[in-house]
């Protein structure tokens, strides 16, 4: 649920009264504001986080025959962006605690065809940038940061998105801040930023005429309407992130005594989390069947919970390419995750209701498992 205020609505309405609905002053204003916020030279706004990732891959010259290391525990766009350029995503397992790419496993996946690493700051938790960059330097690889879930997160006091060769953020309505639909490419490299600006606008060079095209480009433009919304959201980002952290702390305080859950860490050395979602994991004795039953039972009680993520390497479109791929941590984690209701306007009594309901269902499931009763079937009915 996006956090939309009257000022946001007014800003969008004001744009509709101008002649600049696309490629106008609000686009430049949003790009400048994002660049200033994360402290980077260039920000190029586009129509989605997926488009931003695709342009990152394209701008680095990755092409057919190349390999790119990616996590499987992520939104499918991270692999699709590689496939758009006919390159091959190589799936690597994740760390148990942060759910980010495991640097210890990245190096083993590198081959002579490897050109880049795409790391995802999963759920707003920064990846280990020191370890990843060290691997990339030693093997002469490029680094793409997928910060689509992590605007405002920091590693050693530095904003994510500023460590790699190029990075992407997304502003879909479920993100910390939103433009409705939208994303942005960020980089210190001026030449790369200029290329991305061409590519987002059908390959046009802004110094030439409207019908002069110097690159094979795309229609990845974002409207000034979206940008106006994003500017207002970005102006409030510190308060938004503080509120989201407070909600995460409320959940943690109410669930920390449960022996049947693994909670996301509130603090990790060297890192500042930007809370995108609050995802808990059921204990190891629970199966995906139990998780799915809990999801359905909570929904019957009017509480919407989600499953993050279905492993990409097990998706039908990727299964044949990765049939020899074994990612035990990814598969174990993905089968037991529960994303609890998490939005800025949620109230403390609602958090309490969610936690009480979850604890009751966990207790029931635990009793049934202990007694050996087969109360769970594939439909999720009890």
Residues forming the active site: 175
User: Buried b / exposed e across 210-243, counting CB within 10 Å, b at 16+?
Assistant: eeeeeeebbebbbbbbbbbbbbbbbbbbeebbeb
User: Buried b / exposed e across 162-171, counting CB within 10 Å, b at 16+?
Assistant: bbbbbbbbbb
Integer Cα distance of 31 and 28 in angstroms: 5
Q: Which of 228, 170, 206, 176 minimizes the C-alpha distance to 54? A: 170
Integer Cα distance of 166 and 247 in angstroms: 31
Integer Cα distance of 317 and 105 in angstroms: 24
Q: Which of 370, 30, 43, 376 minimizes the C-alpha distance to 231? A: 30
Dihedral of alpha carbons 321, 121, 327, 248, sign: negative
Angle between helix 49-59 and helix 190-200 axes, rounded to 10 deg = 120
* Structure-block tokens of residue 348: 């403390």
CA 365 to chain centre: 31
Integer Cα distance of 112 and 211 in angstroms: 40
Q: Which of 227, 127, 110, 207 minimizes the C-alpha distance to 167? A: 127
Q: Are strands 154-155 and 158-159 parallel, antiparallel or unpaired?
A: antiparallel
């Amino acid at each position: 649920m996006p956090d939309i205020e009257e000022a946001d609505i007014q800003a969008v309405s004001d744009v509709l009264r101008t002649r600049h609905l696309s490629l106008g002053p609000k686009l430049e204003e949003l790009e400048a504001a994002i660049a200033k916020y994360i402290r980077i030279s260039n920000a190029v706004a586009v129509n989605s986080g997926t488009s931003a990732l695709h342009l990152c891959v394209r701008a680095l010259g990755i092409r057919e025959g190349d390999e790119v290391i990616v996590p499987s525990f992520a939104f499918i766009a991270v692999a699709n962006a590689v496939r758009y350029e006919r390159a091959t995503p190589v799936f690597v397992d994740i760390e148990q605690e942060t759910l980010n790419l495991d640097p210890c496993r990245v190096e083993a996946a590198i081959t002579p065809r490897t050109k880049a690493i795409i790391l995802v700051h999963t759920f707003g938790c920064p990846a280990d940038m020191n370890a990843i960059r060290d691997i990339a330097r030693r093997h002469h690889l490029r680094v793409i940061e997928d910060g689509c879930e992590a605007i405002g997160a920091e590693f050693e006091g530095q904003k994510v998105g500023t460590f790699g060769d190029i990075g992407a953020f997304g502003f879909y309505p479920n993100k910390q801040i939103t433009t409705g639909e939208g994303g942005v490419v960020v980089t210190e490299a001026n030449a790369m930023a200029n290329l991305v600006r061409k590519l987002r606008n059908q390959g046009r060079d802004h110094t030439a005429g409207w019908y002069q095209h110097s690159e094979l480009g795309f229609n990845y433009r974002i409207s000034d309407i979206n940008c106006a919304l994003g500017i207002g959201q970005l102006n409030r980002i510190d308060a938004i992130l503080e509120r989201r952290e407070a909600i995460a702390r409320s959940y943690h305080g109410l669930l920390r005594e449960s022996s049947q859950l693994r909670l996301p860490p509130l603090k990790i050395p060297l890192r500042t989390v930007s809370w995108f979602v609050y995802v808990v994991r059921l204990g190891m004795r629970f199966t995906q069947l139990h998780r799915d039953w809990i999801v359905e039972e909570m929904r019957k009680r009017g509480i919407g919970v989600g499953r993050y993520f279905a492993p990409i390497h097990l998706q039908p479109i990727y299964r044949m390419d990765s049939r020899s791929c074994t990612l035990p941590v990814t598969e174990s984690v993905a089968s037991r995750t529960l994303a609890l209701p998490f939005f800025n306007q949620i109230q403390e009594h609602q958090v309490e209701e969610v936690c009480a309901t979850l604890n009751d269902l966990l207790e029931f499931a635990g009793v049934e498992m202990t007694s050996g009763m087969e109360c769970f079937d594939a439909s999720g009915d009890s």
